[in-house]
């Protein structure tokens, strides 16, 4: 399901400071868009608002599903956080199971295997905890967890900032392939 993102006159204030000030912006359905800017300009704040993790002070965000006919139910959103936000006590497999709690155990296992294969997370890593994973494996796990919910929108907050250049290039290509193959709308902050 392709999702169009529309922000209209979006404002976000923290005290007297406006981090976002009347932002109007559209991301077309099925697009992979990069959002570039310096520290403190509101990129992460915008992603948090798009994800529904933080309310705007004013303005409106609409996630519009093309051809869905069900405007009452928002599309699933997957997010890869800047620090990956991996839970240290859970294995890779448990991370994915956790976000799929509404599915049967069998369905969770099948979905986990699919997203691990799609993100090229080695099978040897599936039962390891984050501290036991390499940097690239941890990045793949965070991406797999975001993709497991079959999102219409994928939000990526500097997901590759902590990996070296060759691995960054490989993972960036992987993200592009997955977004295109799934027909998702994605916003990549860097």
DSSP letters of 57-117?
SEEEEEEEETT---TTSPPPEEEE-TT----TTS-HHHHHHHHTTTS-HHHHHHHHHHHHH
Global pTM? 0.92
29, pLDDT greater than 60: yes
Query: Residue 163 has what pLDDT?
Result: 82
Q: What are 38's two structure tokens?
A: 């310096």
Confidence band of 75 (pLDDT split at 50, 70, 90) = confident
In this prediction, residues 84-106 reach a mean pLDDT of 95
Determine the pLDDT at residue 112.
Answer: 96
Antiparallel, parallel or unpaired: β 17-27 and 153-157: unpaired
Which pLDDT does position 72 carry in this prediction? Answer: 60
Cβ contact 59:51 at 8 Å: no
pLDDT at 7 exceeding the cut of 60: yes
**pLDDT over threshold 90, residue 132:** yes
Supply the pLDDT for residue 68: 52
Confidence band of 22 (pLDDT split at 50, 70, 90): very high
| pLDDT at residue 96 is higher than 80 | yes
pLDDT at 70 over 60: no
Residue 74 has pLDDT above 80, yes or no: no
Long-range contacts of 167-174 (CB under 8 A, 24+ apart): 167/135, 167/136, 167/139, 170/136, 171/136, 171/139, 171/140, 171/143, 174/119, 174/120, 174/140, 174/143
**pLDDT attached to residue 99:** 95
Q: pLDDT tier at 160 (50, 70, 90 boundaries)?
A: confident
Average pLDDT for the chain: 92
């Amino acid at each position: 399901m392709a999702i169009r993102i529309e922000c209209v006159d979006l404002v976000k204030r923290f005290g007297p400071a406006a981090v976002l000030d009347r932002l109007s912006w559209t991301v077309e359905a099925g697009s992979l868009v990069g959002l570039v800017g310096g520290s403190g300009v509101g990129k992460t704040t915008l992603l948090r608002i798009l994800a529904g993790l933080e309310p705007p002070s004013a303005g409106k965000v609409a996630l519009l599903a093309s051809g869905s006919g069900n405007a009452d139910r928002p599309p699933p959103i997957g997010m890869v956080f800047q620090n990956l936000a991996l839970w240290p006590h859970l294995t890779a497999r448990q991370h994915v199971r956790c976000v799929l709690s509404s599915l049967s155990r069998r369905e969770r296992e099948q979905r986990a295997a699919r997203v691990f294969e799609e993100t090229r997370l080695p099978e040897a890593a599936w039962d390891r905890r984050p501290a036991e994973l390499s940097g690239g494996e941890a990045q793949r796990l965070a991406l797999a967890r975001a993709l497991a919910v079959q999102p219409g929108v994928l939000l990526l907050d500097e997901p590759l900032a902590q990996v070296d250049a060759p691995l960054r290039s490989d993972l960036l290509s992987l993200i592009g392939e997955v977004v295109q193959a799934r027909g998702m709308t994605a916003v990549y902050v860097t």
